[in-house]
Structure 1
């Protein structure tokens, strides 16, 4: 949407981000704001652009973590006395609890991910296997170039899902959130990066076997690697190391294969109402095209072919 009243724009943007003040860099306050929020999960994608250069005082940035990608123009941010500049094609993580001031030039447009901080910290704690002793804080610098490309692909997937209008099942939404949050935690330096890089013991074969059983039993009803690790009393990384040691695979790969097997069972007992999209989303596959490619690799034919063969005539 385009908002022609600056005070109205400040109010709407403040509801999504945080209360803030905006000062135009030029005397004229007649600024148009292009603003759009979309979210298929707890993490919201925000598109924002002002028609003139502005200075934004966001205060203490309460409980707000942004990965702010510049799709055009250039920006500068100051947090607790540190500053960073970035331009089109770059993304900067902005951590919560810091005095924050932005300076956007006239061409700056952002596609930002508004991260659920509590969920991110729970994910980090699950990876570590113990609670965080302090809030998470990321280095104030652009994402590494290699990770930037990965991050833009992840954002495109999220935007595609949102624009499709298809409501994700809770399992699919949780799986997508886990992917996004884990990607953030491993892709950019923060105050727990060193702890995440420390070696951890591998889960025992018995724990790995229990995890496999839970993944297989719950492939259709819905579960995640984090949930199973929590239930078995180990960290995600300990479970990952156990799967690697026992089977040279990962818990995520095993769970994905279990979901593909469940999809095959559903499609081979199809009813008139069965559809490939419904099956994919029901089983936690957020990207239907990718599900179809994985299914074909596993069973030698696309899921639509299986459905055609077994659907009642």
Structure 2
């Protein structure tokens, strides 16, 4: 099995006049992997994707998909790639079904049983003209067309924008099926729960630079676990190293606090000495991690 990544980005940069939208973007996406690309709006996610699609040319660095240069070989790359943007604009006088068929034909594919299944799963009425569609229904048209294709690499840029929770779930199931087929998926999103549920690895982008890349488990060392504990004997947990935001609970010897990962073993050992009556721990989430980066300014 080849270990060459499907997507490889090295020190990608993009300037618009004097404004540097991308300063230093480096990451890779492998076959059979769902890679989350997260950051707030304006951080550079869509600019990076536009470079990957060959729509704009990078100012510095390089990027390859299937080992081919994203700018010079964009036509060949697009034959094996499917893309869904966050804002979908459709031909207003065509029906949803006609647009899906047209998009498939333009990519050398055709309407299949898979297409019909997706139309049913997403609850789209393909007989209505696109001008009558809500934003969510326009997203469905693009998603159905992309997921109908037998591509090797799927790029989704805020793909569930406008979708209801039921359709978000359908999208997640579809992406899981792509992963099981060995496809590579790049998912750009600011919906952290979506990324946390689906992605094998993530890259966090901030002001045009990648500030952390890895699996969620690898990154959780940067965040704190929230503990709620009731002890048999009194203990002032505020004096323990690595404990933050400690507050007494409603019951005697009850505390709620957050604790740094490196301090967790020592804190648990001390709590055990005071005889734990009840304990609840909440593992750190991607949102905690995200806030860690975006509230910690460069000091």
TM-score interval (norm. to shorter): under 0.3
TM-score, L = length of structure 2: 0.25
Greater relative contact order structure (CA < 8 Å, 6+ sep): 2
Q: Which has the larger radius of gyration?
A: 2
More strand by share: 2
More helix by share: 1
TM-score, L = length of structure 1: 0.24
